[in-house]
A and B are shown apart, each in its own frame.
Chain A
Amino acid sequence: MTTRTTPVAARGTSPLARHRWAVEAVAAAVFALALVAYGSGASFRQDYVVLICTYSLLALGMYIPYIMSGSLSLAYNAYLGIGAYACGLISTRAGWSSLWGVPIGIVLSAAIAVVLGLATRRLTGFYLAGVTLLFAVAFQVFLLDRVSLTGGPVGMPVRRPHAFGYTFTRYDIMIGAVVLVWIVGLLLSRLRQSPFGVVVRLRKDVPQVVESSGISSGTIGVVSLAVGAAIGSVGGSLFGMMGGVAQPESFGLHIIFLAIFMPLLGGQRSPWGAVIGAVLVVVFTFELHILSDAGTLFFAIAILLVLRFAPLGLLGLGTPLLRLLTRLRMGRTPGGEGS
């Protein structure tokens, strides 16, 4: 666990580490290109790719508060739903482009996250988990019950977004989704290494240090909750625009489970772990038919195994391998690296 808290400077000896930012950007871009190439085939693949991106944003939204600052919010189905319904409402009621729903969803869900976070600021994580879970349940009921606002059980259509007289196609939305994940992933990765990121992560491990340096650890927690909620909401908007409909059943409690699960499965050390988790979940859900009846059971057992035996997730399993490779390629091993 202490490996990662080694100061950045100490790891700067390896060229790969020095160019880490560039390598990461390029590698992620390659992955993004591969995704686009895949999605350029049969039309269902575009749904696939957008679903991967939606889940990625959900997992990335979870990443900041949970993985980085240790606040476990479980209201992610609501944030996702707010993003989708905002696009639906703005396009069907006001007749504007559904793109306007994106900022509205961001503001709304961030505001909710702030209020929930503030109320439970002084309490331990279990209570934040509990109260957000109750909010998640109330949100589901709200979607079904407020028929005049949400369209009730049938939901509401989300019109294809348009801007400057151009209406975006499914393919355009897919490209946009992939680019968005790429940018958010890179920003989060950057943020993680930045002074702010260090403070946020410190809060998780040693809150006293953060407090004593004059920064309110509560405020950081609340800010990270808000940013996470906003990212989740963008994912929801994307999903709504692609599917053309916002329905209550799409934003059930199973979303919460996925949100916790994906970053842990992929690996907590990097935001890309969250994305890998999302890819795996989508591939497993759609490609492995054996799992159709017991899919969630399989996932739940997998997460228990990951938590118990591979706490750093799949990326964590890959890191020792990667380090070995780097050493072999560099020919010489800088002493004491990464211990």
Chain B
Amino acid sequence: MPVQLWVSVVELGCFAGLIALGFFLVLRGADVFMFALGPLAMFGAMFGAFQVSRNGWPLPIAALIGVAIAVALSGLTELLIVRPIHRRTGGQENPSIVAIVAILFALEQLAGTLFGRTPLPGTPFWSAQFRWGEAVISGQSIVLVAVTVLAFAGVALWLRRSANGRMLRAVGDNEHAARTLGVPVDRIRLIAFCLAGLLAGVAGSLFAAKAGVSFTSGLQWTLVGFLAVIVGGLGNVWAPLVGAVLVATLQTWSVFEFGHAMRDYLTFAVAFLFFAFRPKGIFQTKVRI
């Protein structure tokens, strides 16, 4: 593959990795697959892009508020929808899935209604361009990579060192047991959702500069993150990143080698094979008793 494609792989991998890390946190902390993270990233990014391109806001302020909105919406999703439904149904997962899918569609449509149905341009934080042999690397990609590494290292540290982080793993492993042991389950779940919203918001506003953002981007973003989790697994904080880079490589390579349609077939095939033969991903969780 030409070098330029590896640049794309890294960009796509980092972006999908950030979304997947959000999935990872909510899965570990609340045992819920937060499908609405992609649309949350889209919503935050669209807010930022809208304020910058239509109202002339300075980028840092618009982006910051966009991210804050993603965090708030994610927290509200847990407080107003997922938690009450979770309580009422005694922890059945289907009502939660349906609620989250409904939120996914609601966010898409809300963004379309508020910010318009035409795509908005994202603005790079660092618009420099570097030539490296054949390839062109944008400053924005460097920012994205740096933020991704920081986010993963930060989350890894938080999970290991902080009390909340350790409790998060306990809640995900067995909510009932954790509650009995006096772990503040509700608070931990809320933290997981908010952190995931933060990661999604950051990922969205960084990635929007690459290709712009439209109200329909969210579902695609959810799917790449989902795949990254499937391939990577949940055994390790870094697993989603490994999964994301593998998926990005596969998607880019398949288009380069066979053309567009093959990407979606292969993507589905990989998910399918992983489900059938390695359902816990590459890095499996160690069984704790």
A and B: partners? yes
Whether A220 sits at the interface, judged by CB under 8 Å, is no
Closest to B226 in A: A130
Contact: A304 with B267, CB < 8 Å? no
B265 with A141: CB separation less than 8 A: yes
Once the chains are docked, how many angstroms separate the CA of A303 from the CA of B95?
11
Interface 1/0 per residue, A46-88 and B, CB below 8 Å:
0000000000000000000010001010100000000000000
Residues of chain A contacted by B103 (CB below 8 angstroms): 300, 304
Known: A126-B33, A257-B105. A307 touches B275 (CB 8 A): no
Q: Which residues of A contact B276 (CB under 8 A)?
A: 119
Tell me which residues from 283 to 339 in chain A have a Cβ below 8 Å from any Cβ of chain B: 293-294, 296-297, 299-301, 303-304, 307-308, 311
Q: Please pick, from A72, A116, A135, A300, the residue contacting B106 in the complex, using a CB distance under 8 A.
A: A300
Beta-carbon contact of A134 and B80 below 8 Å: no
Task: Determine whether the beta carbon of A300 is less than 8 Å from that of B88.
Answer: no
> B residues within 8 A CB of A122?
279
* Known contacts A124-B93, A297-B113, A307-B98, A138 near B279 by CB under 8 Å: no
How far is A116 from B109 in the complex, measured between Cα atoms in Å? 29
Q: Cα distance A70–B260 when bound, in Å?
A: 35
What A residues does B120 contact at CB under 8 A?
none
Q: Interface SS of chain A: helix, strand, loop or mixed?
A: helix
Q: 0/1 per residue, B124-154, Cβ < 8 Å to A?
A: 0000000000000000000000000000000
Give Cα A127–Cα B275 distance, bound, in whole angstroms. 8
Q: With the chains together, A261 CA to B102 CA distance in Å?
A: 8
Contacts A297-B106, A307-B99 supplied; 6 other A-B pairs, CB < 8 Å? A125-B94, A127-B279, A137-B264, A294-B113, A307-B95, A308-B99
Q: How far is the CA of A118 from the CA of B119 in the complex (A)?
A: 39
Asked if residues B272 and A131 are in contact (CB atoms below 8 Å), the reply is yes
A119-B272, A141-B261, A293-B113 given as contacts; is B223 within 8 A of A133 (CB)?
yes
Verify if A211 is at the interface (C-beta below 8 Å from B): no
Instruction: With a 10 A CB-CB cut-off, give which of B92, B98, B99, B226 has the most chain A CB atoms.
Output: B98
| A residues near B81, Cβ cutoff 8 Å | 304, 307-308
Output the least CB separation between B81 and chain A (Å): 6
What residues of chain A lie closer than 8 Å to B33, measured between beta carbons?
A: 126-127, 129-130
Residue numbers in B under 8 Å from A137 (CB-CB): 223, 264, 268
* Residues of A in contact, count (CB < 8 Å): 44
Interfacial chain A residues near B271, Cβ < 8 Å: 130-131, 134
In the assembled complex, the Cα of A308 lies from the Cα of B223 at a distance in Å of: 26
Chain A 100-141 residues near chain B, CB threshold 8 A:
116, 119-120, 122-127, 129-131, 133-135, 137-138, 141
B97 in contact (CB, < 8 A): yes
How many cross-chain pairs have Cβ atoms below 8 Å apart between A and B?
A: 118
A134 touches B268 (CB 8 A): yes
Inter-chain CA distance A76–B95, complex, in Å, is 18
Chain B residues whose C-beta falls within 8 Å of the C-beta of A196 in the assembled complex = none
Q: Chain A nearest CB: distance from B96 CB in Å? A: 9
Closest to B269 in A: A138
CB <8 Å contact, B261 and A260: no
In the complex, A125 Cα to B275 Cα: how many Å?
A: 12
1/0 per residue, CB under 8 A from A, across B29-63: the answer is 00011010000000000000000000000000000
A264 at the interface (CB under 8 A from B): yes
Q: Does A253 contact B (CB under 8 A)?
A: yes
A-chain residues with CB within 8 Å of residue B279 when the two chains form the complex: 120, 122-123, 127
Interface contact B109-A300, CB-CB below 8 Å:
yes
Q: How far is the CA of A59 from the CA of B102 in the complex (A)?
A: 16
Distance to closest chain A CB from B69 (angstroms):
17
Q: Are B268 and A301 in contact (CB under 8 A)?
A: no
* Contact (Cβ within 8 A) A123 B275: yes
Given contacts A72-B94, A141-B261, A300-B102, contact A307 B85 (CB under 8 A): yes
Chain B 253-267 near chain A by CB (<8 Å), digits 1 or 0: 000000011001101
Contact partner, B264, options A127, A141, A293, Cβ 8 Å: A141
Give the one of B80, B81, B226, B275 with max A CB within 10 A.
Answer: B275
29 contacts between A and B (CB under 8 A): A70-B94, A74-B101, A123-B275, A126-B93, A127-B33, A127-B275, A130-B35, A134-B223, A134-B226, A134-B268, A134-B272, A137-B264, A137-B268, A138-B268, A142-B261, A145-B260, A145-B261, A204-B92, A253-B219, A260-B101, A294-B109, A300-B103, A303-B102, A307-B81, A307-B95, A307-B98, A307-B102, A308-B80, A311-B95
